[in-house]
Chains A and B, each alone.
Chain A
Amino acid sequence: QVQLVQSGAEVKRPGASVKVSCKASGYTFTSYDLNWVRQATGQGLEWMGWMNPNSGNTGYAQKFQGRVTMTRDTSISTAYMELTSLRSEDTAVYYCEVRGTWGQGTLISVSS
Protein backbone atom coordinates (compact mmCIF):
# COMPACT_ATOMS: atom_id res chain seq x y z
CA GLN A 1 0.00 0.00 0.00
CA VAL A 2 1.06 3.56 -0.63
CA GLN A 3 2.93 5.06 2.30
CA LEU A 4 4.39 8.54 2.59
CA VAL A 5 6.77 9.43 5.42
CA GLN A 6 7.72 13.06 5.87
CA SER A 7 10.63 14.77 7.61
CA GLY A 8 10.30 16.19 11.09
CA ALA A 9 9.10 19.50 12.43
CA GLU A 10 11.27 22.57 12.02
CA VAL A 11 11.45 26.06 13.46
CA LYS A 12 12.66 28.78 11.13
CA ARG A 13 13.36 32.50 11.31
CA PRO A 14 11.55 34.90 9.00
CA GLY A 15 13.40 35.16 5.71
CA ALA A 16 14.86 31.67 5.94
CA SER A 17 14.11 28.67 3.73
CA VAL A 18 12.86 25.20 4.56
CA LYS A 19 13.02 21.93 2.65
CA VAL A 20 10.54 19.19 3.55
CA SER A 21 11.03 15.64 2.36
CA CYS A 22 8.45 12.97 1.58
CA LYS A 23 9.66 9.39 1.20
CA ALA A 24 7.34 7.13 -0.75
CA SER A 25 6.98 3.38 -0.52
CA GLY A 26 4.55 0.68 -1.52
CA TYR A 27 4.31 1.71 -5.17
CA THR A 28 6.45 2.76 -8.10
CA PHE A 29 7.45 6.30 -7.17
CA THR A 30 7.55 7.54 -10.75
CA SER A 31 4.05 6.30 -11.59
CA TYR A 32 1.89 8.97 -9.96
CA ASP A 33 1.90 12.72 -9.56
CA LEU A 34 2.57 14.01 -6.06
CA ASN A 35 0.94 17.04 -4.50
CA TRP A 36 1.89 19.32 -1.63
CA VAL A 37 -0.81 20.81 0.59
CA ARG A 38 -0.52 22.95 3.68
CA GLN A 39 -2.81 23.76 6.58
CA ALA A 40 -2.38 26.58 9.05
CA THR A 41 -3.68 25.95 12.55
CA GLY A 42 -7.45 26.04 12.58
CA GLN A 43 -7.60 26.76 8.86
CA GLY A 44 -8.54 24.83 5.74
CA LEU A 45 -6.45 22.88 3.26
CA GLU A 46 -4.40 24.89 0.78
CA TRP A 47 -3.03 23.21 -2.36
CA MET A 48 0.50 24.38 -3.11
CA GLY A 49 1.51 22.49 -6.22
CA TRP A 50 2.18 19.19 -7.97
CA MET A 51 5.12 17.30 -9.36
CA ASN A 52 5.45 14.47 -11.83
CA PRO A 53 8.21 12.33 -10.29
CA ASN A 54 8.98 10.71 -13.62
CA SER A 55 9.62 13.83 -15.65
CA GLY A 56 10.22 16.28 -12.83
CA ASN A 57 7.59 18.58 -14.29
CA THR A 58 5.90 20.80 -11.75
CA GLY A 59 2.97 23.17 -11.39
CA TYR A 60 2.61 25.63 -8.58
CA ALA A 61 -0.28 27.60 -7.15
CA GLN A 62 0.04 31.22 -8.17
CA LYS A 63 0.30 32.26 -4.54
CA PHE A 64 3.59 30.38 -4.17
CA GLN A 65 5.14 31.07 -7.57
CA GLY A 66 8.71 32.24 -7.12
CA ARG A 67 8.96 30.95 -3.54
CA VAL A 68 8.36 27.22 -3.86
CA THR A 69 10.36 24.54 -5.61
CA MET A 70 9.34 20.88 -5.81
CA THR A 71 11.99 18.33 -6.69
CA ARG A 72 12.62 14.63 -6.35
CA ASP A 73 15.32 12.01 -6.07
CA THR A 74 14.03 8.94 -7.84
CA SER A 75 16.92 6.79 -6.57
CA ILE A 76 15.48 7.00 -3.06
CA SER A 77 11.79 7.55 -3.96
CA THR A 78 11.76 10.89 -2.19
CA ALA A 79 10.09 14.15 -3.06
CA TYR A 80 11.07 17.54 -1.69
CA MET A 81 9.29 20.84 -1.23
CA GLU A 82 11.40 23.90 -0.60
CA LEU A 83 9.81 27.18 0.46
CA THR A 84 11.92 30.33 0.63
CA SER A 85 11.58 33.79 2.15
CA LEU A 86 9.55 32.40 5.01
CA ARG A 87 7.19 34.63 6.93
CA SER A 88 5.01 34.07 9.98
CA GLU A 89 2.02 33.33 7.75
CA ASP A 90 3.86 30.26 6.45
CA THR A 91 3.52 28.59 9.85
CA ALA A 92 1.52 25.49 9.03
CA VAL A 93 1.51 21.73 8.69
CA TYR A 94 2.78 20.73 5.25
CA TYR A 95 1.56 17.48 3.66
CA CYS A 96 2.53 15.46 0.62
CA GLU A 97 -0.25 13.49 -1.06
CA VAL A 98 -0.44 10.81 -3.72
CA ARG A 99 -3.72 9.44 -5.07
CA GLY A 100 -5.57 10.16 -1.84
CA THR A 101 -2.87 8.94 0.53
CA TRP A 102 -1.26 11.60 2.70
CA GLY A 103 1.96 11.85 4.59
CA GLN A 104 1.79 12.40 8.33
CA GLY A 105 2.47 16.10 7.95
CA THR A 106 5.42 18.32 8.85
CA LEU A 107 4.94 21.30 11.13
CA ILE A 108 6.93 24.31 10.02
CA SER A 109 6.94 27.16 12.53
CA VAL A 110 8.22 30.56 11.47
CA SER A 111 9.03 32.86 14.33
CA SER A 112 11.59 35.45 15.29
Chain B
Amino acid sequence: DIQMTQSPSSLSASVGDRVTITCRASQDISNHLAWYQQKPGKVPELLIHAASTLHSGVPSRFSGSGSGTDFSLSISSLQPEDVATYYCQKYNGAPFTFGPGTKVDIK
Protein backbone atom coordinates (compact mmCIF):
# COMPACT_ATOMS: atom_id res chain seq x y z
CA ASP B 1 0.00 0.00 0.00
CA ILE B 2 1.03 3.60 -0.63
CA GLN B 3 2.11 5.43 2.50
CA MET B 4 1.47 9.12 3.11
CA THR B 5 3.75 11.31 5.19
CA GLN B 6 3.44 14.95 6.19
CA SER B 7 5.85 17.52 7.48
CA PRO B 8 6.14 19.20 9.79
CA SER B 9 3.98 17.41 12.34
CA SER B 10 3.24 20.77 13.94
CA LEU B 11 4.07 24.40 13.43
CA SER B 12 3.52 27.69 15.12
CA ALA B 13 3.41 30.89 13.10
CA SER B 14 2.33 34.49 13.45
CA VAL B 15 -0.83 36.00 12.04
CA GLY B 16 -0.10 37.11 8.50
CA ASP B 17 2.73 34.63 7.95
CA ARG B 18 2.88 32.37 4.94
CA VAL B 19 2.65 28.73 6.00
CA THR B 20 3.49 25.69 3.91
CA ILE B 21 2.78 22.04 4.74
CA THR B 22 4.16 19.21 2.67
CA CYS B 23 2.73 15.79 1.94
CA ARG B 24 4.61 12.95 0.31
CA ALA B 25 3.30 9.72 -1.18
CA SER B 26 5.48 6.63 -1.29
CA GLN B 27 4.44 6.06 -4.94
CA ASP B 28 3.14 8.17 -7.79
CA ILE B 29 -0.49 9.16 -7.20
CA SER B 30 -0.70 11.68 -10.07
CA ASN B 31 -2.86 14.54 -8.76
CA HIS B 32 -5.27 12.36 -6.77
CA LEU B 33 -4.75 14.20 -3.52
CA ALA B 34 -7.07 16.08 -1.21
CA TRP B 35 -6.40 18.36 1.72
CA TYR B 36 -8.70 18.56 4.74
CA GLN B 37 -8.85 21.03 7.60
CA GLN B 38 -10.07 19.87 10.99
CA LYS B 39 -10.62 22.51 13.65
CA PRO B 40 -10.58 21.40 17.30
CA GLY B 41 -13.72 19.43 18.12
CA LYS B 42 -15.11 19.76 14.60
CA VAL B 43 -15.72 17.59 11.57
CA PRO B 44 -13.03 17.63 8.86
CA GLU B 45 -13.72 19.98 5.97
CA LEU B 46 -12.47 19.63 2.40
CA LEU B 47 -10.13 22.41 1.33
CA ILE B 48 -8.57 21.19 -1.89
CA HIS B 49 -9.03 18.27 -4.28
CA ALA B 50 -7.11 17.19 -7.35
CA ALA B 51 -4.01 18.54 -5.58
CA SER B 52 -4.70 22.18 -6.47
CA THR B 53 -8.44 22.77 -6.98
CA LEU B 54 -9.95 24.89 -4.24
CA HIS B 55 -13.22 23.50 -2.90
CA SER B 56 -16.23 25.79 -3.13
CA GLY B 57 -16.28 28.44 -0.42
CA VAL B 58 -12.70 27.95 0.72
CA PRO B 59 -10.81 31.24 1.15
CA SER B 60 -8.35 32.07 -1.59
CA ARG B 61 -5.46 32.31 0.89
CA PHE B 62 -5.37 28.51 0.71
CA SER B 63 -3.62 26.90 -2.24
CA GLY B 64 -2.33 23.49 -3.18
CA SER B 65 0.32 22.30 -5.56
CA GLY B 66 2.22 19.23 -6.61
CA SER B 67 1.82 16.00 -8.50
CA GLY B 68 3.30 12.55 -8.49
CA THR B 69 4.70 12.06 -5.02
CA ASP B 70 5.27 15.55 -3.61
CA PHE B 71 2.53 17.97 -2.65
CA SER B 72 2.11 21.10 -0.61
CA LEU B 73 -0.62 23.14 1.01
CA SER B 74 0.03 26.82 1.56
CA ILE B 75 -1.76 29.48 3.52
CA SER B 76 -0.66 32.82 2.14
CA SER B 77 -1.55 34.86 5.22
CA LEU B 78 -2.28 32.87 8.36
CA GLN B 79 -5.44 33.90 10.20
CA PRO B 80 -6.56 33.01 13.74
CA GLU B 81 -9.41 30.93 12.33
CA ASP B 82 -6.88 28.74 10.51
CA VAL B 83 -5.81 27.08 13.76
CA ALA B 84 -6.47 23.44 12.94
CA THR B 85 -4.94 20.14 11.99
CA TYR B 86 -4.47 19.62 8.26
CA TYR B 87 -4.55 16.21 6.61
CA CYS B 88 -3.70 15.10 3.12
CA GLN B 89 -5.44 12.06 1.62
CA LYS B 90 -4.73 10.04 -1.50
CA TYR B 91 -7.62 8.81 -3.60
CA ASN B 92 -6.09 7.27 -6.70
CA GLY B 93 -7.24 3.87 -5.51
CA ALA B 94 -8.08 2.08 -2.28
CA PRO B 95 -6.91 2.28 0.41
CA PHE B 96 -7.60 6.01 0.58
CA THR B 97 -4.91 6.66 3.13
CA PHE B 98 -4.61 9.87 5.13
CA GLY B 99 -1.39 11.52 6.12
CA PRO B 100 -0.70 11.75 9.87
CA GLY B 101 -1.68 15.41 10.03
CA THR B 102 -0.01 18.76 10.65
CA LYS B 103 -1.15 20.84 13.60
CA VAL B 104 -1.06 24.58 12.98
CA ASP B 105 -1.36 27.16 15.71
CA ILE B 106 -0.67 30.83 16.27
CA LYS B 107 2.55 32.02 17.82
Residue from the set A45, A47, A49 with the largest chain B CB neighbour count within 10 Å: A45
Interface string of A91-112 (1 = CB under 8 A from B): 0000100001111110000000
Instruction: Decide if A44 touches B100 in the complex (CB within 8 Å).
Output: yes
- Other-chain residue from A46, A49, A62, A102 in contact with B43 (beta carbon distance below 8 A): A102
Chain A interface bracket (under 10, 10 to 19, 20 to 34, 35 or more): 10 to 19
**Interface of A (DSSP majority class):** strand
Interface string of B76-107 (1 = CB under 8 A from A): 00000000010101000011111111000000
Docked CA distance A100–B49 (Å)? 9
Instruction: Decide if B101 touches A47 in the complex (CB within 8 Å).
Output: no
Interface string of A27-65 (1 = CB under 8 A from B): 000000001010000001111011000000001011000
Docked CA distance A62–B1 (Å)? 10
Instruction: Decide if B96 touches A47 in the complex (CB within 8 Å).
Output: yes
B62 interface residue per 8 A CB criterion:
no
B19 interface residue per 8 A CB criterion:
no
Q: Which of A47-87 contact B (CB under 8 A)?
A: 47, 49-50, 59, 61-62
Residue from the set A49, A62, A102 with the largest chain B CB neighbour count within 10 Å: A102
Q: Specify which chain B residues have a CB less than 8 angstroms from the CB of A100 in the assembled complex.
A: 34, 46, 49, 55
Q: Select from chain B the residue with minimum beta-carbon distance to A44.
A: B101
List 8 extra interface pairs beyond A35-B96, A44-B98, A62-B95, CB under 8 A. A44-B87, A44-B99, A45-B87, A45-B101, A49-B94, A59-B95, A101-B46, A103-B43
